[in-house]
Amino acid sequence: MNGLSISELCGLFCCPPCPSRIAAKLAFLPPEPTYAFTPELAPDSPPSQQRWNLHLTERAEFQYTQRELDNVEVTLAQSSRGNPVGIMYVRCAPDSRFTVLFSHGNAVDLGQMSSFYIGLGSRIHCNILSYDYSGYGVSGGRPSEKNLYADIDAAWHTLRTRYGASPESVILYGQSIGTVPTVDLASRHQCAAVVLHSPLASGMRVAFPQTKKTYCFDAFPNIEKVSKISSPVLVIHGTEDEVIDFSHGPALFERCPKAVEPLWVEGAGHNDIELYGQYLERLRRFIGQEIG
């Protein structure tokens, strides 16, 4: 989330407020795509039968070998808003009890995240399904709050139908802006558990830290939705987060009916929590011991 001047903020929030414009200015930074999909079958094959090959560019900075890449499957879904949604399924642990539906941060795409998914999935013994938001990677359309919700619904549907995952086997994981679709989906569907990594309470609370209430034109109102999540929730936040203030983590934690012991990473910022040893330790304990 990039900084804005007072005049720009006033332009965003003064009458008539436009939530989609707030969302676009505060959150979405799609990179130049670092990957592509090419069809494996003839282009006129039915979508349900179409298979795709993944091609990563150098900017994806893939850290593994072809052997690991062979365990990565990609496909295209279509959202309820008509946008094609790029989806990546990483088969890290075929015998795993859980699959993580991962919603990534705002300035990366699936290509850049692919190495992280392989490393994370193998360490927590979970398969991972992720997707790109509208306007990111191969996903069509433009980034917007409404598209975020439709994009994750398309990913959820793909996980349930194509990969046969039951709700009680899915862990919803959101990082930064990815906590927005994660919270929305978790407030509407039962799942095994939820992880909120560097979460935001709402758009206005990021722009105006003194904001205490949620206005009708606020974007990304996680703070108003987390109380509807009936699954166990693990909140992770760095105490020195320079993008989303640390106060957002405790504020959301206090609203979650089934929140477990949170992980406050002393000294961590917005993009380096994964480098701290307690990150993996806490995730493993959550997945291995605290999910019913």
Q: Is residue 1 in a domain?
A: no
Q: Is residue 155 in a domain?
A: yes
The residues with which 193 forms a beta bridge, in sequence order, are 171
Instruction: Specify the pTM.
Output: 0.89
Q: Is residue 251 in a domain?
A: yes
The CATH number for 89's domain is: 3.40.50.1820
| Cβ 186 vs Cβ 231: under 8 Å | yes
Tens digits of per-residue pLDDT, 56-86?
999 999 999 999 999 999 999 999 999 999 9
CA pair distance 237, 249, nearest whole angstrom: 6
Q: Is residue 48 in a domain?
A: yes
Q: What is the mean pLDDT of residues 128-154?
A: 97
Out of 139, 176, 198, 231, pick the active-site residue: 176
Sequence-separated (6 or more) residues with CB below 8 Å from residue 219: 19, 20, 22, 23, 26, 27, 145, 202, 203, 204
Cis check: omega of the bond before 181, within 30 degrees of 0: no
Q: Is residue 84 in a domain?
A: yes
Q: Is residue 247 in a domain?
A: yes
Number of domains in the chain: 1
Out of 231, 241, 245, 248, pick the active-site residue: 241
Q: Is residue 281 in a domain?
A: yes
Out of 197, 237, 248, 270, pick the active-site residue: 270
Q: Is residue 224 in a domain?
A: yes
Tens digits of per-residue pLDDT, 15-52?
444 555 545 545 689 999 999 999 987 666 666 668 89
Amino acid at 186: A
Residue where the block lists tokens 């069809």: 39
104 annotated active-site: no
Q: Which domain holds residue 246?
A: 6-290
Tens digits of per-residue pLDDT, 213-268?
776 666 788 999 999 999 999 999 999 999 999 999 999 999 999 999 999 999 99
270 annotated active-site: yes
Higher pLDDT, 203 or 89: 89
